């Protein structure tokens, strides 16, 4: 029950997740959700509970890892077709992994060439935003057909739960790309935008970032490009 949750239970979750090999940042995303639910229960739902203090784990300084166009092309060729389509779509839209894997047909409006990304009712920092679709992104969606009545990206008609899996890691290893995760496709998308001269305030809206500091991480990638 909500009123029975204590700090010891939170500590058990933390230790269990860390023992499974996940990083501090992954644990923190879970803790943020848990903290938000407990606070919402007490303040908005009027549940008689006393939420424990939940302190987030220390995270290393944010890394920015990105691919060149040539590296991205090599990686897509090494991926299974369904993952290659998802990777290409990510590079066209800058969407996070979950926004791609969980993308539903009712979020897509091809007549207006947009996708509507929903906000998070619990984590208020995650706001809804609209993503414009390029010609390539529209082509990818059209090629998906109607293999599933709900989800856009599927494998053998079934929804894909995760993109950053074994097949993706094996493909990276095959083409010699090290220290690269699926989320780094979002970094790649943002970096390419900056290199092409997209203003940071525009990039912030395209990426759905609420904090301008998140966008400024990519600014230094433009200097060498502009100098050339």
213 contacts 185 by C-beta, under 8 angstroms: no
- CA dist 88 and 124 (Å) reads 29
Q: Is 216 designated active site?
A: no
Tell how many helices (H) and how many strands (E) occur in the chain.
11, 5
Q: Match 């599933």 to its residue by tokens.
A: 148
Which of the following is catalytic: 124, 161, 162, 174? 124
Element (H, E) at 130: strand 129-132
The one catalytic residue in 66, 182, 189, 209 is: 209
**Catalytic annotation, pick one of 96, 187, 192, 193:** 96
The reply to whether 124 belongs to the active site is yes
The end-to-end CA distance of the chain, in Å, is 61
Is 113 catalytic? The answer is no
Check 17, 65, 169, 183 and give the catalytic one.
Answer: 183
Residues 142 and 89 sit within 8 Å (Cβ to Cβ): no
Of 66, 189, 192, 218, the catalytic one is: 218
User: Residue 104 pairs with which residues in a beta bridge?
Assistant: 151
Active site residue: 35, 66, 182, 186, which one?
186
Is 161 among the residues known to form the active site?
Answer: no
What are the catalytic residues? 96, 124, 183, 186, 209, 218
């Amino acid at each position: 029950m909500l009123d029975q949750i204590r700090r010891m239970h939170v500590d058990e979750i933390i230790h269990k997740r860390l023992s499974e090999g996940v990083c501090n940042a992954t644990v923190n995303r879970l803790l943020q959700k848990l903290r938000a639910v407990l606070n919402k229960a007490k303040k908005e739902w009027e549940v008689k509970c006393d939420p424990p203090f939940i302190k987030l784990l220390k995270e290393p300084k944010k890394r920015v890892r990105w691919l060149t166009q040539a590296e991205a092309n090599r990686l897509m060729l090494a991926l299974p077709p369904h993952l290659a389509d998802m990777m290409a779509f990510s590079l066209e839209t800058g969407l996070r992994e979950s926004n791609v894997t969980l993308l539903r047909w009712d979020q897509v409006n091809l007549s207006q060439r947009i996708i509507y990304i929903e906000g998070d009712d619990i984590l208020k920092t995650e706001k809804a935003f609209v993503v414009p679709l390029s010609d390539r992104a529209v082509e990818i969606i059209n090629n998906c057909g109607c293999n599933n009545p709900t989800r856009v990206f599927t494998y053998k008609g079934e929804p894909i739960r995760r993109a950053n899996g074994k097949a993706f890691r094996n493909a990276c290893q095959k083409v010699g790309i090290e220290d690269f995760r699926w989320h780094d496709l979002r970094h790649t998308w943002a970096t390419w935008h900056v290199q092409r001269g997209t203003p940071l305030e525009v990039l912030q809206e395209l990426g759905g970032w609420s904090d301008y500091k998140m966008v400024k991480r990519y600014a230094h990638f433009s200097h060498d490009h502009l100098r050339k």
